[in-house]
Amino acid sequence: MADKFNVAVLGATGSVGQRFIQLLQGHPWFEVNELVASDRSSGQRYADVCDWRVSDAMPESAREIRVKGLHDSIESQVVFSSLPGGLASEVESRLASEGKQVFTNASDNRMVPDVPLVIPEVNPEHVGLIDVQRKNRGWDRGLIVANPNCSTIHLVLALQPIWEQFGIELAMVTTLQAVSGSGYPGVPSLDMIDNLVPYIGGEEEKIESETTKILGTLTEDHIASAAITLSTQCTRVPVRDGHTESVSLKLRKSASVDEVIEAFSSFRALPQELGLPFAPEKPVVVRDQPDRPQPVLDRDAQNGMASVVGRVRECSIFDVKFMVLGHNTIRGAAGASILNAELLVKKGYIS
Amino acid sequence: MADKFNVAVLGATGSVGQRFIQLLQGHPWFEVNELVASDRSSGQRYADVCDWRVSDAMPESAREIRVKGLHDSIESQVVFSSLPGGLASEVESRLASEGKQVFTNASDNRMVPDVPLVIPEVNPEHVGLIDVQRKNRGWDRGLIVANPNCSTIHLVLALQPIWEQFGIELAMVTTLQAVSGSGYPGVPSLDMIDNLVPYIGGEEEKIESETTKILGTLTEDHIASAAITLSTQCTRVPVRDGHTESVSLKLRKSASVDEVIEAFSSFRALPQELGLPFAPEKPVVVRDQPDRPQPVLDRDAQNGMASVVGRVRECSIFDVKFMVLGHNTIRGAAGASILNAELLVKKGYIS
Amino acid sequence: MADKFNVAVLGATGSVGQRFIQLLQGHPWFEVNELVASDRSSGQRYADVCDWRVSDAMPESAREIRVKGLHDSIESQVVFSSLPGGLASEVESRLASEGKQVFTNASDNRMVPDVPLVIPEVNPEHVGLIDVQRKNRGWDRGLIVANPNCSTIHLVLALQPIWEQFGIELAMVTTLQAVSGSGYPGVPSLDMIDNLVPYIGGEEEKIESETTKILGTLTEDHIASAAITLSTQCTRVPVRDGHTESVSLKLRKSASVDEVIEAFSSFRALPQELGLPFAPEKPVVVRDQPDRPQPVLDRDAQNGMASVVGRVRECSIFDVKFMVLGHNTIRGAAGASILNAELLVKKGYIS
Amino acid sequence: MADKFNVAVLGATGSVGQRFIQLLQGHPWFEVNELVASDRSSGQRYADVCDWRVSDAMPESAREIRVKGLHDSIESQVVFSSLPGGLASEVESRLASEGKQVFTNASDNRMVPDVPLVIPEVNPEHVGLIDVQRKNRGWDRGLIVANPNCSTIHLVLALQPIWEQFGIELAMVTTLQAVSGSGYPGVPSLDMIDNLVPYIGGEEEKIESETTKILGTLTEDHIASAAITLSTQCTRVPVRDGHTESVSLKLRKSASVDEVIEAFSSFRALPQELGLPFAPEKPVVVRDQPDRPQPVLDRDAQNGMASVVGRVRECSIFDVKFMVLGHNTIRGAAGASILNAELLVKKGYIS
C-alpha cells in the first residue's frame, strides 16, 4: 500500500463523511487512515461512535480506527472534508497551512476568491488558481479545492455541453431535492409525509453564485464570473437520495432539440480522457422515455457519478427545457471531492 | 326542500364523484338525488357499490340511493359530471340536449369553442357564451359549462389579480402535483415511495391551452385567446392532496413585490360580491413565512376553495416569482363545478 | 361566558398543546384563557411564538393571548398539561397544590399510585382515588388526573367490552404507530421514507403497565392491578396520525367471533350516558371490510374520539384477534384529557 | 460458456422476472438464454417490451434477446418461473413433462403434495420428494421445485435455528410488508401515502400452511406436516423492499435469550457447507442495536440473501420474541429459486 496516498476524512461520522469512507473503499490511489470527528469522539473506535447509515455495512478497515478530534494533529497528506458550514473554514485553512491537500465539500470556502470551485468535466483549468492561493497565503504544498453544492453540480454538469457549444444567457430552475442533502436527523418526517417544503435556506443563493463562478474564466489572479443569469426555486420532497431539477434555458446560439440531445450524449471531458478512477464513462446520460429521469431508477446511473437528463424539448418561452437528476451524496458531494482529488493527482499537485 | 335544485352526479363512485357528494351535503341550493355510475352498478345501493375513500364517512343521504347507469334517464335539473375523458363528451351533450344544466369537470368539453371554461373569480362574463352554445346546438334550456383542470385553476386564480392590474406576458411554471389527481387506483406506490415522476401525460398541454382560453376575451361568438405565453413542466410527487406550482412571471407593467403581494391579498371578485355559498372569503391567501405554502398545512385553507401563495419575490430573469398551492379535488375539481353552478343560479340560467 | 370554566394549556406551543387549543375552540364548558410555554416565550403573542401545525388555521381567540412562562402564576381553574416527561411532574404538582384541577397528558404522573389514570368509558370509578390523593397531599380543591399513553388508550378502549363480558387473560400486541406521537421535529424523515423503525423507547413498558392499572380495581386507598398479561412490540411507520395495533387475546370465558363483534358494536358507557360533549356516540366502531381499519380512512371516525376495530376473527393460538386503530393526538392525547375533565365536571370535582 | 446450464426465465418482464435476470448476471453455473413473457411480446427484443425497474441498468446480455411467448417451445434445461398464480401450474407442469428442471416462485405448486417446498438451509432433504414426483407423473428428467412465499422464507429461516435446538410449539406473527411484493403497478399510492393497509389477500394462509410443510418431515411418499401452530396478521406498509415481521414463540425446551441469540448467530447449514454461490455466509444476521432491523439499513445484508434479526428478548406471554427482516424479492423470491437450483446442481438433479 506504500504507493497510495494516506487520507484523512473530516466529519467522518456525518452522512457525507460516511459516503467518503464507503466510496474510498478499495480506491486505487487513496487509503483512509484517519477519521476525524468532534472532540468528544476522540480516541474511540469508529465502530463505537458512528451510527452507520449508508446501506452497506461499515467497511471492516474503518471499524477499528481510533477517531481523532478536530484539534488533534493529522498525519495524512490528503484531507477530505465534510465539516458543517461555519466550522470548516478555520480547520481547513489550518490543515492547508500545515501542508495538507484539502478537498472540501463544505460551503465555507466555495466562494472565497482564491479557492478553485471545481467540477473536473467543466472547469479543470481553474485548478490554476491554486498558484494564486498559495502565493496569497504563503503556502508551500498545502491547498484547498472546493466542490460545489449538490444541486449546483448536477445543474452545471448538464449545462456544460450546451454552454460550450451554444452559450447560455438565461437559466430558470426549479429543484425537487432529496432529504439526505440535509444530513441526519435533518428534515422532520412530519414535513415529508404527504407533504413537501418549498424552501431550503440559502440553497438558491448557492446555486446562483456557484454556477457563475464555475462557468467563469480564470484570469491572472481570480475567476471572472460567467455572463449567465439564473433564477432558482428550491423545494424539498419526500425522496431519500437524488435531486431532480426542472430547467429552461435561453441560448446564445440557436440549437435544435436534437442538437442539444446530441451535445448531452456525446459530452466527454478531461476526466474521461485521463481515465480518472471515479470518472463516469458518460458524465451526462440521456433518457428518452417520457417519464424519466426518476430518483429510484436513475440516481445510481454510472455508480451515482452521472447527471441524468430527460424530457429534452423546446421551451415555448426560451429555447430548450429538460429535467436533470443526480445522486446528491455521491456525485453531489463525496464523489465530487474524490474526483477533484484524482484530477489533482494527475496534475501533480498531490505529494 | 322544494326550493332546492335536484342534482345528479355522474361518475359518482370515482374520487371526484365522491367529493361532489361530500361537498354538496347540506348545500343550501342543491340536493343530490341521483347518482350515476357505470351500467353494471345500475340498480344497486350506492353504499354497496362505492368504495368510499374521502376521509369522512359516506353521507347517510347517499347510502340508500339506487345507482343509475349511464344510459338510464335522468330527472334532475342540474348535473355535475366527473366522467372520465372520452366518455364524458357524448353523455354530457345528450343530457344538455334533454334540457339539463351540465357542469363538467371532465376534460372533453373544456376546449370546445362554444363551451365556456369558467372560474367565477376570473372570467364570469364567459357564461355569455352559453347563448352561442344554445344557438349552435338548438338547445333551449340545456347547457354545458366546464371548469378547468386542477393545476390550471390554481395557477389562473393566482395569475388573475396580477393579470388585471399589471398584465402578464410570460409565465414559466413547474408543478409538483398530488396523486389524488389521477384517481384511484391511479399512481402506483412503487412510483411514489422514495421517488417522483417528472411527467403527467397531457397535463402540460392542458394548462397551457386552458389558461389562454380562460384569460381570453368573449367576442360575439367565441373566446379570443389571451396574449400570454406559458411554458410548463409537470411532475408527480408523493403527496395525497394539494398541487404546488413554482411560477415566474414577466409582467407588462412594472410592479414591485409589495404591489404584487397587495394585489394577491386584496383580490376579491364577483363570487365574493354575490356571496356565493362556496366562494372563499379570500380567493388568494398569502403566506409570509419563508417555507410556505405546504400541502398539509395549506391545502384546506378557506375550506379548500382558496389558492395559497407564498415566497413572493423578485425574479432575476423575469419580474416576479412565487409558489402557489391549492386543493386539487376541492377547488381544483368538484368545488370548482359547484361554484360555477352557483354563479349560474345567480345569473338565472338554472331553472 | 361567565358560566364556562377558565382553562390554561401547559406546553401550548407543542403538537399536543396545539391540539388542546384546536379542540377546545367553541367548547361548551371550557374556555382557553391562558397559554403556558417555556419561559423564553413569556410575554409574547401566541401567534408570534407558535409554529402552528395542525391543519386548520390557528384560532383567532388564541392569536393575541400573551404566552406565560412555566414560572408565572396561573389564574385559570382548569389546567390541561402536555408538558414533556420530566418537566411535568413538578409543575403539575405545584399547580394542584395551589388548588388547580390538572388534567395531564404527560407520562410523569400516570403510574403514581394516588393519581387516577382514567379512560371515562373504562374506569370512571377510579376518580374516587382523588380523595386519597387530596388526603395524601393535603390538597383541598386541587387534583391531578392523568390519561394514558396514545397507544394504551386505543388498546384499552377496544379491550374493555371484551374484558367486562368475557375476561381477558393474555394480550399479544404489535403496534404500527404514527410519527405525530413523537411531536415536532420528532422522527427524522430519513427514518420514515422507504423505511420503518421497530422500536419506540419506553413505549412497550408504558402500554403494559398502564393497561394493568386502568383495568385494575379501586380499593380503599390504591388501584389493585388487573390480572392480565400483555406482551407488546412497538414500531414506528410512515404515517402522520393514527396508531394501528394488531391484537390477539386469550379470553377467560369462551366467546364466538360474533359475540365479540357484538360486544364491540353495542359498547356504550358512562360518557355516552352522561352525554359528555366529547364522548363519541360509539366508542368502538367496527369495520367489516377486510382491509380496514386504515389510518387515512378511519382515524377521524367520530371526530377522532373512537377506536376503530376490524378484521375480527378467530386466533388459531388464542381465542380472538383483530386490528384496532385510533387517532393518537385526538382520542390518544388532547381529546382524552378533555373527556376526563368533562367527566369530572359532571362528578362535581371542578369548581 | 459450454459448461454453464442454459436458463429460461418465465414471466421475464415482471418484477421478480427482472430480479432473476439481474441476479443471474455473471452467475458461475447458469446462463440466461431465453426470456418468456406473454404471447403478445413474442418475437420482440427484451429491451423493447420490458419496463426495467430494478435499480441497475438492464444487463446488456438481456437487451437483445427475442422474447418468447408462453406457448413457444423452450430449449433451456433449467427454468426459473415467476408466472402469476393461476397461470403457472399448467405451464410449469408442461415444461417439466418435457424434461425441464423447473424452479418456481409461483404460489400454484407450493402446496401440491409431491412438489418439494424448499429452503436449502432448512429442509434440503425434502428434495428427495422429487423421486416421488417423477414416479407419480411419469417424468424422467423433469422436476418442479418450489420456494416459499416471501414472508414465509424469512420467518422460517429465523425459526430454523430455534426449531432444531429447542423446538417450537406456537408462533404468533404480525408482518409489515413492502409493496414490491405485489409487483408493478401493484399497490396504489393512495393506499401508501400517510397510510397502511392491514390486509394482504391470501398471505396469512400461505404463511401458515407453507411453514408447516417446510418444517415437516419427508416420509416415504409425502411430507408430514410439522407440529407447530401459527397465527399471523399481515399488513402492507409504505416500504419499497424488505418485509419486517414481529414474532413471539413458545418453545418446547426452555432456552435463555442468550442461547437463542447464539443459535441465530452460529446458524450455518448445508448451503454454507457446500459453498453454493448464492448462499449467504450467515443465513441469519443478528443486530444488537435496539432499533434494528430496519428496511433501508438491513434488507441488503449478505447481498439480500440473509434474514436479519433484532430485538431478541423475553416474551412475557410465551418464551422469546424478536423482529426479523429480509429482502422480499431477493431472498424472498428470485434469490430463493436460484439457491434451490444451486442445491439441485450439487445433488445431481440438473443435467
Residue found by looking up cell 372563499 in the block: B280
| Residue D263 grid coordinates | 443459535
SS (H, E, C) chain C: CCCCEEEEEECCCCHHHHHHHHHHCCCCCEEEEEEECCHHHCCCEHHHHCCCCCCCCCCHHHHCCECECCCCCCCCCEEEECCCCCCHHHHHHHHHHCCCEEEECCCCCCCCCCCCECCCCCCHHHHHHHHHHHHHHCCCCCEEEECCCHHHHHHHHHHHHHHHHHCEEEEEEEEEECHHHHCCCCCEHHHCCCCCECCCCCHHHHHHHHHHHHCCEECCCCEECCCCEEEEEEEECCCCCCEEEEEEEEECCCCCHHHHHHHHHHCCCHHHHHCCCCCCCCCEEECCCCCCCCHHHHCCHHHHCCEEEEEEEECCCCCEEEEEEECCCHHHHHHHHHHHHHHHHHCCCCC
Q: How many CA atoms lie within 13 A of A232 on its CB side?
A: 26
A117 DSSP 8-state letter: B
B45 DSSP 8-state letter: B
The domain D5-149+334-346 having CATH identifier 3.40.50.2020: the answer here is: no
| Residue D125 grid coordinates | 432433504
For residue C54, the chain A residue with the least C-alpha distance is: A190
Pair type for strands D5-10 and C320-326:
unpaired
| Residue B349 grid coordinates | 340560467
| Residue B258 grid coordinates | 409589495
SS (H, E, C) B189-239: HHHCCCCCECCCCCHHHHHHHHHHHHCCEECCCCEECCCCEEEEEEEECCC
Rounded-to-integer distance, Cα C264 and Cα C253, Å: 16
Rounded-to-integer distance, Cα D56 and Cα D41, Å: 23
pLDDT digits (tens, 9 = 90+) for A77-103: 999 999 988 889 999 999 999 999 999
- pLDDT value at residue D1: 40
Length of chain B: 351
The closest CB to that of D190, out of B179, B190, B193, belongs to B179
Q: How many CA atoms lie within 13 A of C147 on its CB side?
A: 32
Per-residue CA distances from A133 to A342, B155, D45 (Å): 19, 49, 56
- pLDDT value at residue D8: 98
For residue B54, the chain D residue with the least C-alpha distance is: D190
B65, B39 in Cβ contact below 8 A? no
For residues D2 and A55, which has the higher predicted lDDT (pLDDT)?
A55
**What is the distance, to the nearest Å, from the Cα of residue C204 to the centroid of all Cα atoms in its chain?**
16
Neighbours of D166 (CB within 10 A): 18
- pLDDT value at residue C54: 85
Residue found by looking up cell 395557477 in the block: B155
pLDDT digits (tens, 9 = 90+) for C265-290: 999 999 999 999 999 999 999 999 99
Which phi and psi (to 5°) does residue D96 adopt?
Answer: -65, -35
- pLDDT value at residue C1: 40
The closest CB to that of B184, out of D188, D192, D238, belongs to D188
Sheet of D284-286: strand order equals D229-236, D168-177, D243-251, D320-326, D307-314, D284-286
- What contacts D178, CB < 8 A, 6 or more positions away? D237, D239, D240, D241, D242, D243, D295, D328
Give start and end residues of each alpha helix (H) in A25-67. Answer: 46-49, 60-63
Pair type for strands B68-69 and B30-37:
parallel
Sheet of C5-10: strand order equals C30-36, C5-10, C78-81, C101-104, C143-146
Rounded-to-integer distance, Cα A162 and Cα A248, Å: 12
Query: Hey, is the C-beta of B196 within 8 angstroms of any chain A C-beta?
Result: yes
| Residue A221 grid coordinates | 489572479
Q: Which residues of chain D have pLDDT under 70?
A: 1-2, 55
The closest of B56, B71, B67, B86 to B13, measured between CA atoms, is B67
The closest of D3, D85, D101, D33 to D338, measured between CA atoms, is D101
For residue B296, the chain A residue with the least C-alpha distance is: A195
Residue spans of the domains in chain B: they are: 5-149+334-346, 150-327
pLDDT digits (tens, 9 = 90+) for C322-351: 999 999 999 999 999 999 999 999 999 997
pLDDT digits (tens, 9 = 90+) for D325-346: 999 999 999 999 999 999 999 9
Q: What is the pTM of this model?
A: 0.97
Rounded-to-integer distance, Cα A315 and Cα D243, Å: 44
Q: In angstroms, what separates the C-alpha of C297 from chain D's closest C-alpha? A: 9
Interface test with B, best of A169, A177, A196 (most B CBs within 10 A): A196
pLDDT digits (tens, 9 = 90+) for B310-346: 999 999 999 999 999 999 999 999 999 999 999 999 9
| Residue A178 grid coordinates | 432529496
Q: Is B315 a catalytic residue?
A: no
- Confidence bin at C35 (pLDDT 50/70/90): very high
Is it true that the peptide bond before D185 is cis, omega within 30 degrees of 0? yes
Q: How many CA atoms lie within 13 A of D157 on its CB side?
A: 37
The closest CB to that of C237, out of D176, D290, D323, belongs to D176
Which phi and psi (to 5°) does residue C81 adopt?
Answer: -115, 125
Rounded-to-integer distance, Cα B43 and Cα B49, Å: 10
B153 DSSP 8-state letter: H
A168, A125 in Cβ contact below 8 A? no
Rounded-to-integer distance, Cα D272 and Cα B184, Å: 46
Class of domain B150-327: alpha beta
> Measured in Å, how far apart are chain D's first and last C-alpha atoms?
15
Query: Hey, is the C-beta of A176 within 8 angstroms of any chain C C-beta?
Result: no
Is it true that the peptide bond before A293 is cis, omega within 30 degrees of 0? yes
Which phi and psi (to 5°) does residue B326 adopt?
Answer: -155, 160
- Confidence bin at A348 (pLDDT 50/70/90): very high
The closest CB to that of D300, out of A56, A240, A300, belongs to A56
Per-residue CA distances from C154 to C118, C298, C329 (Å): 13, 13, 11
- Chain A partners (3+ C-beta pairs within 8 A): B, C, D
pLDDT digits (tens, 9 = 90+) for A233-274: 999 999 999 999 999 999 999 999 999 999 999 999 999 999
DSSP helix/strand/coil, D212: helix
Rounded-to-integer distance, Cα B156 and Cα B211, Å: 7
Is it true that the peptide bond before D293 is cis, omega within 30 degrees of 0? yes
Tell me the torsion sign for CA atoms C38, C40, C43, C47.
negative
Query: Hey, is the C-beta of D292 within 8 angstroms of any chain C C-beta?
Result: yes
* Of D126, D154, D243, D327, catalytic: D243
Sheet of B229-236: strand order equals B229-236, B168-177, B243-251, B320-326, B307-314, B284-286
DSSP helix/strand/coil, B333: helix
Partner-chain contact C300 B56, CB within 8 Å: yes
Is it true that the peptide bond before A185 is cis, omega within 30 degrees of 0? yes
- pLDDT value at residue C176: 98
- Confidence bin at A1 (pLDDT 50/70/90): very low
D204, D114 in Cβ contact below 8 A? no
| Residue C182 grid coordinates | 413523537
Examine the pLDDT at C56 and tell me if it is beyond 90: no
For residues D238 and C1, which has the higher predicted lDDT (pLDDT)?
D238
Q: Stretch C4-17: mean pLDDT, rounded?
A: 96
Rounded-to-integer distance, Cα C155 and Cα D84, Å: 38
- Burial (CB < 10 A; 0-12, 13-18, 19+), residue D258, is exposed
Query: Hey, is the C-beta of A199 within 8 angstroms of any chain C C-beta?
Result: no
DSSP helix/strand/coil, B166: helix
Which phi and psi (to 5°) does residue D247 adopt?
Answer: -130, 130
Query: Hey, is the C-beta of C51 within 8 angstroms of any chain A C-beta?
Result: no
- Chain B partners (3+ C-beta pairs within 8 A): A, C, D
| Residue D245 grid coordinates | 415481521
ipTM: 0.96
Per-residue CA distances from A240 to A180, A192, A285, D260 (Å): 6, 10, 21, 35
Give start and end residues of each alpha helix (H) in chain B. Answer: 15-24, 46-49, 60-63, 88-97, 129-137, 150-166, 203-214, 257-266, 270-274, 295-298, 335-346
pLDDT in tens, chain B (351 residues): 458 999 999 999 999 999 999 999 999 999 999 999 998 999 999 999 999 988 678 999 999 999 999 999 999 999 999 998 888 999 999 999 999 999 999 999 999 999 999 999 999 999 999 999 999 999 999 999 999 999 999 999 999 999 999 999 999 999 999 999 999 999 999 999 999 999 999 999 999 999 999 999 999 999 999 999 999 999 999 999 999 999 999 999 999 999 999 999 999 999 999 999 999 999 999 999 999 999 999 999 999 999 999 999 999 999 999 999 999 999 999 999 999 999 999 999 997
Rounded-to-integer distance, Cα A119 and Cα A161, Å: 13
Rounded-to-integer distance, Cα C330 and Cα C25, Å: 14
- Chain D partners (3+ C-beta pairs within 8 A): A, B, C
- Confidence bin at C3 (pLDDT 50/70/90): confident
Examine the pLDDT at A2 and tell me if it is beyond 70: no
At the fourth CATH level, which superfamily is domain C5-148+334-346?
Answer: NAD(P)-binding Rossmann-like Domain (3.40.50.720)
Query: Hey, is the C-beta of D193 within 8 angstroms of any chain B C-beta?
Result: yes
Query: Hey, is the C-beta of B297 within 8 angstroms of any chain C C-beta?
Result: yes
Pair type for strands C307-314 and C320-326:
antiparallel
DSSP helix/strand/coil, A231: strand
